[in-house]
Structure 1
């Protein structure tokens, strides 16, 4: 399975978890989007530095775009594949959903 497909599936699974399973609705808050904007800024810088310097390489058969490393275009944003943004979104959202869910659960037990 490609990195593109895995990243897309991951985002959908975490959105379902947030909105319908855990019902935390993290993505519906302004705090989430402001926080995520800060996180994604640094994610693009870090991923771009690692990928632009070819410290991290991606198999062109499993990502959008080619093996050509460009700052923007050819399936890349700041040198990193766009899939990294989706994957990062899913990871950060999952962490926030679990944190919120556990916090609510702890409060309900008190």
Structure 2
């Protein structure tokens, strides 16, 4: 499986986890998107540094675009393959979903409204 396919599967899995499995629905809140905007800026800086300098390299057959390292275009954004953004999104969302879900389990007052439990 290519990095592109794995990244796409990871994004779909993270969204399914958020929306229907854990029912945290973080992606439907402005707070989530504001926080993610801050995270993605630093992700781009870090990925750009690592890939732009050739510290991290990708097999051109496993990603969109070619193996040419360019700042924008050819399947890259700030030097990093777009798959890195998708995979990073999935990792951050999954971590936040787990955090919120576990917090709700620990404190019944934070459970989902209408679930029949909590205050």
Q: Same fold (TM over 0.5)?
A: yes
Q: Higher Cα Rg: structure 1 or 2?
A: 2
| Offset at residue 95 of structure 1 (A) | 0.4
Partners of 1:94 and 1:20 in 2: how far apart? Answer: 13
Paired residues in the alignment total 110
| Offset at residue 44 of structure 1 (A) | 0.4
Q: Deviations over 1:32-91 (max 9, x none)?
A: 000000000010010000000000000000000001000000000000000000000000
Segments of 5+ residues of structure 2 without an aligned counterpart are 110-117
Normalised to the residue count of structure 2, the TM-score between the two structures is 0.90
Greater helix proportion: 1
2:90 equivalent to 1:90: yes
| Offset at residue 108 of structure 1 (A) | 2.1
Segments of 5+ residues of structure 1 without an aligned counterpart are none
Normalised to the residue count of structure 1, the TM-score between the two structures is 0.97
Aligned to 1:81: 81
Task: Show the 5 A alignment for 1:1-110.
Answer: 1-108=1-108
**RMSD of aligned Cα (Å):** 1.2
Partners of 2:108 and 2:13 in 1: how far apart? Answer: 26
**Which runs of 4 or more aligned residues in structure 1 lie more than 3 Å from their structure 2 counterparts after TM superposition?**
none
